[in-house]
Structure 1
Amino acid sequence: MTPHGSAAVSAAFGVAVYVSTQARPAVDAVLSRNPGMAVIQADEPGPDGCRRIIVDADSGPTLSWLVEALRETLGADLLRTEDPVFTVASTGKLGQQLRASTATGRDLALLDADADRRVIRHLVAHPGQVDRFSGRARRVALLSDASAVLDFESLPAEAALPAVESQAAHLHRETGLDVVPIPLSACGPGELAAMIRMMAPGFGASVLVHTHVRHIDAVRATLRAAPAPQPASHPVLLDAINDGLAVAAVAAALNHLRRRGVDPRHARVAVVDPQRGGDLAGLLLAAGIHDLLLYDPVAYGVTLLHELAGRLDLLVDLIGLAAPPKGPTLLRVRPESPPLLPQATDGPRPLHALPGLLRAAVTAHCPINMAARVAAVHAIAAQAPFGALLPRPDHPQLAPAVADAALPALTDTDSDTAT
């Protein structure tokens, strides 16, 4: 099939097939009769004189049909198949880098007990210098209790690893920090909070991802209620909802209103099922949107929402309305089904804000506060290109801009308290 449909396919539904050289026409014949969309992305020489053909499809069912049809049609000419999704997952997606030299005996002596003893004695006497004489300041714990992994129900902790590793790879790429994926088998938010506190001495920050917003709220409340016995063990905690998705959603909302010529202070905005968005409502208010309707579809149904729609400038949908009301622009904000990265200029993702806020939190060694989130909102909005609500999450200037905007709010002693 020709690449004209490439916008509809995805590498997430791809397959690499190794075939004999003479089998290419048979591959084309299978693709021509597939029930969905499929595109040959590469056709290159493989080992032992075969051809390696990479095909991307538009969905899981299309991919399954293709693999089965290729097997039936090609027979012995189909040497083997590889699924890139599982190939990438099997690598672990990121690894560890040794920074200390181990080339000589003298190098090894600097990693031995006598050397460690000298540094430890110094840190006991000068605890404020731990980040200077260890790797803690650049090490981040990426945590999940597997309670909200995409659109799955609660999972065993180890089953969440592929999603947590992908987030770790993204955050490492955007921040340069050492991001360690750690799924946790925690019996409730109280135990999860205790685990975060126990790990805090070894990490510059912890970040909760793929964790239900109720658990995030409970963890934060538990940590606030039980101050750490020592300042050095107080956790710097961020999360993908409050420090990621909510910040990006508010930036998109402001850009939409401004480009429609609506002053955010006078805009009428409704948030559907606000409990799913963490402190999204508070951030909308802090960013200057004062006329805010928090709409609970379970309590009020959807009929009233349709009746109110004509009075709204923007509808922020966190539940995924099957039949949204006509009239106001709909901004979908759903952590369970984020937009694809190339399409995230009109839909928010945690990666719009989280890397920059993480840089700022690690630099200042303190939690993110509301002032920092508001600064991040305006930095993200300013980076959006003409005609888009948001910049691409992987834009090279985005994370530095967010970090630079948020850092003064963390180092200013007059800023509001951490949340």
Structure 2
Amino acid sequence: MTQFLTCTQFQRMSDYASSNCFIALCDLINSVPPHSRDDQFLYTKQKQLKSVIKQTIRASLEFAATGSDVYALDHLRRAMDAYTAIGVRVIKYSHMHDQGSLLKPLNRQLTHWLKAYKDLGEKSPLREEIRVVLAKYVADTGQNPTELSRHYFHGLFKPLNHRTLVPHKTPLSTGGELQSQLALSPCERDEIGRELEKTVAKFVALFGKKTVMDYVSKPLRMVVFKERKQYVCYGNYPYRINTNNGGLFVKGEPSSPHNQPSLYVYYQERKILNLCHEFVHFLDSKYITYGNSAYLPSEWVTFWQEGVAQYLSGQGEAYAAAALRRDPDGQRPSLSQIVDIDAYSADGHSDRLYVWPYYVFKYLASTPETKDIRSALAIALGKPDHGGAYKRVLTEFVTAHADRFNAWLDTETILAKTAREGANAPRAAAAARA
């Protein structure tokens, strides 16, 4: 963090490692529990923190306007969240009843920075990004949108409405509703329905369709954006999701009848990216895994969640085989390492999250014995015992099958390489003839 704070603004904005440092700083500012000792400590350091955040907001706008930095918009969103959190923290510890007076300096500062962008065209992507971060700032600081739009922000702010963002709604044949930015043709709707129904059939064949205990959520809401840029922009607000991914399922609190399980995906090359993968996460949450996303430690269940999604969605085989051919035997993780992984410990290495868990699931489908273990893991995940039964079954599996899994993976490696050589043979023969 110190290294980040002492480098130049251009380095902060353009370097991947510095970008990660800035993400960590913003996460710290945003996620510290209210009224904790850390919260009070950050309040005492607000002057230093505000200086970094202010610099980043200004630089992010400049770089985004010129298109000179790939991280600029992400930094803008995160910096605005941190700017909001600092403002809210000031209000909390100031003991003043006039909240508006405390927020006016922040509003004036933002208005000053945004003056240079007031003439952006109505269809400018940057104008829409500014509108979104301002709407989130106004909502999170509890201010009156009508009053702010009259006195601040040069006309760049106006409230957002979910209904206008995804105006097209279609019932899903598997239950729930699809909400889309694009108007889908009957053929497109039917294709989505067939893909989801096929995924359900594969899931039910392995695990059945008995709803997990205490699950009383609303039917699934599937939100489909027309492209990744829209997904990232509106995922930030009003949907408030992490968009550093290729799609997301948000489980929520399944024991509440008011809970809305939601799946967020987007189009890429005229196909909805990772549609079935994210849909499997929903099926897992409804029919296998008990509780909300915090009920079990993520390092216990990530291998299961990503492995079953890759295995059943039909997306895993080619991607996994390429990794198997690429990675030397000595650099493959062990079975105990594969089942003890989450997004943080994977540290950006997608193979750790998707390839190796996929192969564990493929192994679990290889014999009657391993299929019984897969069933035992699924049953244990549905127990409301904070993972006690699941951890015991998982530990027994790893202890008994570590060596067998490695030997099986050696065979898979040979098959993957042989398949690649077979695919290349016709091209080599054609080249020889030429």
With structure 1 as the length reference, what TM-score do the two structures score?
A: 0.29
More strand by percentage: 1
- Report 1 or 2 for greater relative contact order, CA contacts < 8 Å, sequence distance ≥ 6: 1
Choose between structure 1 and 2: higher helix proportion. 2
